Amino acid sequence: MDFLMLMCSFLILYPIFLLWRWVDDKRDKECYVLDYECYKPTDDRKIDTELSGEVIKRNKQLGLNEYKFLLKAIVSSGIGEQAYGPRMVFAGREQNPTYEDGILEMDEFFKDSIEKLLSRSCVSPQDIDVLVVNVSMLAVMPSLSARIINLYKLREDVKVYNLTGMGCSASLISIDIVKNIFKTQKNLHALVVTSESLSLNWYTGNDRSMILANCLFRSGGCAILLTNKRSLKHRAMIKLKCLVRTHHGARDESYSCCIQKEDDHGRQGFHLDKTLPKAATRALVDNIREITPRILPVRELLRFMIVSFTKKLSQRSNNKAGGGTNNRTMINFKTGVDHFCIHTGGKAVIDGIGFNLDLTEHDLEPARMTLHRFGNTSACSLWYVLGYMEAKKRLNKGDKILMMSFGAGFKCNSCLWEVMRDLKGDDNVWSDCIDDYPPKTLTNPFMEKFGWINDEDPSTFVLPP
């Protein structure tokens, strides 16, 4: 009888024990962001309208048509007067940058942002278990990750991932690496360092598809501290809910729409093809199709299916009757998402995502203002956008944030974060200027100072000294 009672107890309690272990293990597999620090270069690195004009004038490869093209590109870029550039541009050496220029650009970022992040978080460099560094267009020996390890004296057993060639979507790829490591081990700290190198990748030729990158990309960087420690949950800013990566590299058109190459004269640059908008839209649609069921409530998915089906039936009837309609059926992302953190790849990128997700100007404001203040800072741009939301005190406990980014390859990556506590943003990269945003106008003064180029006669055009 006692044995039977013991067996019954075992059969009842053991499944409960297994369930408890499963839940307990799952809790330790969460991915939290404890803090992040966006890099703000010194004021002497601001590229304003006047300097932009001087840099363009220094390129003797350009003719009148190229000047007109760049004038139009800069005016319509959405970038303001305070974005930052590499030091070699201010020294007038963009035609012949040195290896040390690239190293200096990264060192200034590393020494500023990583140090501030660890100090504010009260985390010692010795506590870092995982280091992920992504700088797409700078490969050095030893690697940039080794440079950080040496600078901050990280442990000998730190797990290191050094990413290059991942483009503007590398930040979320780095987060995905950390997330997967957190699934296998408990009580870890991870440091993600994301930036881009402009010094050694400034294009000095006259190919329009390549010189455009000089107008769009600016200097920046971000250091992000993550953990899966349950004891630090109360200190966390945001928690990762899900992450989806879409890669269209198998398609030749998508692969070659953003690519580093040499022009006809052997000058290296970053080629942006006319097929880029099409490739980006295709990647975005595929990515949205996969992440939507994971982040939106069932009621919204059912509503969308019913409305779509009803409209298709209606369109068939109208077509038979000789009519027709092009009304789109839009899914309401705001039923599961409170804030949209969009990559600042350019004004067209922000407009395109806004159109496809049916977003308002309020939703797009953080991305537009980040593009205006900091420009396209590549993979780290998402964190400047997040910083804007935080500084504007938009982020409250329980809110959901959808991050979306694009990158060469061609890739579209997205993820959903949950805000773990009310975020005040009192001490971030926006603190000293947030009251000035949004400004009354985003008009670029480049046209006012250099608009005379549009009135020049090609046969008599002479660049002023």
Residues annotated as part of the active site: 168, 247, 339, 343, 372, 376
Q: CA-to-CA distance for 28 and 19, rounded, in angstroms? A: 15
- Asked if 331 and 302 count as a contact pair (C-beta separation under 8 A), the reply is no
Q: CA-to-CA distance for 275 and 207, rounded, in angstroms? A: 16
Displacement of CA 175 from its chain's centroid (Å): 12
Please tell me the total number of residues recorded for the chain in this structure.
Answer: 465
DSSP structure string for 403-443: EEEEETTTEEEEEEEEE-S----TTSTTTTTGGG-S-S---
Q: CA-to-CA distance for 240 and 174, rounded, in angstroms? A: 13
Q: CA-to-CA distance for 228 and 45, rounded, in angstroms? A: 37
Q: Counting runs of H as helices and runs of E as strands, what totals does the chain give?
A: 16, 11
Give start and end residues of each alpha helix (H) in 28-75. 49-58, 64-75
Whole-angstrom CA distances from 143 to 223, 333, 402 are 17, 41, 32
- Asked if 287 and 244 count as a contact pair (C-beta separation under 8 A), the reply is yes
